Amino acid sequence: MVTSVTNFGRNGLSDFLVQRITSVVLLAYFGWLAYVLVAGTDYGQWQALFATTWVRIFSAAALFSLIFHAWIGMWGVLSDYVTERLMGAKGNVLRFLLQLAIGAALFIYMVWGFQILWG
């Protein structure tokens, strides 16, 4: 079994499943959001909508899904292109640094999102 310290669930099968489950949550969220926006809304309605508990929970679920989905997805891209095979030993260092930067960006997205929802 292939294991890695920088993937998400420590093995590829769990990453594969998490990637799919989170994609369904994201699809549902963006679909719902598109419906709301196309139907038309004003500030009062929009504000009231995001004050309801279910919308906040749904948004939080989408936010968590985004973090996991993007971590796994970007890990897959990095581990294909930024590698020892293509760049030599510095590929490993660079990939690790990029994964750190991606993690930091996702952390910011998450904190920012929660601040919007509950701040």
Partner 1 sequence: MGIQGDSLVKDTRPVNLDIATIKLPITAYASILHRISGVFLFVAIGVMIYALDLSLSSAEGFASIAVMLDSLPAKMVVWAVLAGLIYHSVAGVKHLIMDMGYGETYEGGVLGSRITFLVSVVMIALAGLWIW
Positions 39 through 68 that interact with ligand HEM (CB under 6 A)? 66
* Alpha carbons within 13 A on the beta-carbon side of 36: 16
- Would you call 37 helix, strand, or coil by DSSP? helix
Choose, by CB under 8 A, the member of 14, 23, 52, 92 that binds partner 1.
23
Positions 57 through 116 that interact with ligand HEM (CB under 6 A)? 66, 69-70, 73-74, 76-77
To the nearest whole angstrom, how small is the minimum distance from the Cβ of residue 17 to ligand HEM? 11
Which residues of this protein are in contact with ligand HEM, per CB under 6 A? 19-20, 23, 26-27, 30, 66, 69-70, 73-74, 76-77
